[in-house]
Amino acid sequence: MCGIAGWIDWENRLEDPVNQETLTAMIDTLKMRGPDDSGRYVCPNIAFGHRRLSVVDPANGAQPMIKRRNGHNYVITYNGELYNTNELRAELEGYGYHFETNCDTEVLLTAYMEFGTKCVEKLNGIFAFGIWDAAKERLFLARDRIGVKPLFYAIRDCQFIFGSEVKTLLANPLIKPEVNIEGLAEILMVGPARTPGNGVFKNVFELKPGHAFVYTATGSRNYRYWALMSHAHEDNFETTVQKVRELLIDTAQRQLVADVDVCTFLSGGLDSSALTALAAMEFQRSGKGKLNTYSVDYIDNDIYFKASSFQPNSDAPWVEKMVKACDTCHHRILIDNIELAKSLPKATLARDFPGMADVDTSLYLFSREIKKGATVALSGECADEVFGGYPWFYREEMINSHAFPWSPKPEMRLDWLNDNVKSQMDLVEYVKTRYDDAISEVPRLKGEDKVAARMREIFYLSLTRWMPTLLDRKDRMSMAFGLEVRVPYCDHRLVEYVWNIPWKMKNYKNREKGLLRQALAGILPDDVLWRKKSPYPKTHHPEYLNIVRNWALDILNDANSPLTELMDVKKLNEIAKQDLAASNIPWFGQLMGGAQLFAYLIQLDTWLKAYKIKIV
């Protein structure tokens, strides 16, 4: 993986020293994403920057990469990984192309030269890239179908700026750290999620998943090249199970390809255990030796863990079982609760926004430790969205809430805000509108009954509104240390196929991800296969709650804190006096309750100060 940056200015020379300094500043924001190399391409009106994390063909593949045809340059700056590189290279060689490297960057650029903007339809992988086509004097941007890799952009008069992260754009003086009331509504009411395409900062946008962007001196076009399509599922249950199994095996094998050390996350749950088992089998088959696996836990969590409907049991015994079953070289990472809390500002800066509190910081610290032994990791992220693993797929009150099921009561957040903020916009209506927008996008299936139609909506919400939050977290927290995390359950072939499988099949044996469990029969031990779902592990130590609560109160009671202009300080002080451990009702997802509210406030304060946010 890497970090990319770009800048087009039709009126001014980007070769000038001042503009080169700006380009350097933009590239420097991406150092952690690409610690191995740096590069730039500059001509009078266009500048590309790149930071490289070497994964395939480290000796070659420097970027920005240039190829010439008929006297014109084709230049690419690319972040991602293609999993069908070999097939695509062979196809292009059939058209007469020759390759100088073994890296996917050259294959992607050559695919554009042959197929133009339709090259994205040929790609299987995770990617965000920019290509300058000198022959047509146009910029072509594209992002992978699921949105695993990030891409943001802004247009200022005759200038276009893009980058892997928002901080890359903000390093350019043309982009001001201004946030209007809609941006605030995203942070305060929708956050830590974001509406697809919304960059929070004024006139900053995110290229949506499955979208491409063409920019020339005469105009621009932002368009969708991929979307979920609904149609009748014609395979019987046995065939469906077999196809899911085959897709999982194929995608896991493809995503193990690398010229650097590869490992897997292992929580002992269904999703990571399946990938670990498949990876371990492939390592054994190819003679690569033992697979390295990593799990995360918290100091003294065994003492303070309390089972709940959201988190029914501890992971540690299940991790041990899978380590023995797969004969892996395991590394158990223990996180200190004090460091977990103190890392909240660092995670905010990595994400560019307030995030999922300790859910972010734990992954941040986890990634730091994994990077000491590996450069690529496979993660079980997104199986819950694809196959139906969350409580909102099963609990009637969540299914029928007619709101984002992970945040069904946006009005509760109004209690945290001061009257000035609430007077500027109907914030609950804003959230409702975003929900209605999402529902209006759902590709319907004619003749589907009411229950099935609603479940299709729940799946769509999960895939397009919830999953991006987790993918953002995964990308930013891991890439903060130059760790590439791959997510096989996001393979678009798998997502497309499972999307149209009827809910009755997905809900096999009335179990969360029942279909997936059946598809993995024989690959995993039976007790792991049918283990009750337990979410990403969180700390249960009261020390963490006390640290973040006291820290947040210090901020709120500081008259110079920008939080005082947004929050109802008196109300939050009252909430802080409650027994948050006993009444830890999630306000966002399964893992963000009372402690995470105060941690989110710390991250919000960090964001406002560090980015020098101006509310406009």
Annotated catalytic residues are 2
Find, among 286, 303, 351, 357, the residue nearest to 594 by Cα: 357
Sequence letter at residue 171: A
Tell me if 452 sits within 8 A of 442, measured CB to CB: no
Dist. CA 596–CA 540, nearest whole Å: 12
DSSP state of 215: E
Q: Taking each helix axis as running N to C, give the angle between helix 85-94 and helix 104-115, from 0 to 180 degrees, rounded to the nearest 10.
A: 50
Using CB atoms within 10 A of its CB, is residue 161 exposed (0-12), middle (13-18) or buried (19+)?
buried
Q: Which residues pair with 167 in a beta bridge?
A: none
| Residues sharing a CB contact under 8 Å with residue 250, sequence separation 6 or more, in sequence order | none
Say whether 24 sits in a helix, a strand or coil.
helix
Dist. CA 191–CA 196, nearest whole Å: 12
DSSP state of 192: T
Task: Please give the C-alpha separations between residue 606 and each of 99, 206, 488, 551, in angstroms, as whole numbers.
Answer: 47, 22, 33, 12
Dist. CA 244–CA 261, nearest whole Å: 28
Dist. CA 266–CA 332, nearest whole Å: 9
Tell me if 515 sits within 8 A of 538, measured CB to CB: no
Side-chain half-sphere exposure of 22, counting CA atoms within 13 A: 22
Handedness of CA 234, 235, 237, 240 (dihedral sign): negative
Q: Which residues pair with 9 in a beta bridge?
A: 159
Dist. CA 166–CA 500, nearest whole Å: 35
Say whether 359 sits in a helix, a strand or coil.
helix
Q: Which residues pair with 292 in a beta bridge?
A: 263, 329
Sequence letter at residue 274: A
Using only C-alpha atoms, the chain has a radius of gyration, in whole angstroms, of 24
| Residues sharing a CB contact under 8 Å with residue 284, sequence separation 6 or more, in sequence order | none
Beta pairing, strands 614-615 & 376-378 = unpaired
Question: How would you label 458-489 residue by residue, b for 16+ Cβ within 10 Å and e otherwise?
Answer: bbbbbbbbbbbbbbbbbbbbbbbbbbbbbbbb
DSSP conformation letters of 473-523 = HHHHHHHTTT-EEE-GGG-HHHHHHHHTS-HHHHTGGG-TTHHHHHHTBTT
| Residues sharing a CB contact under 8 Å with residue 602, sequence separation 6 or more, in sequence order | 344, 345, 548, 551, 552, 555
Q: Enter the tokens of residue 457.
A: 């909506």
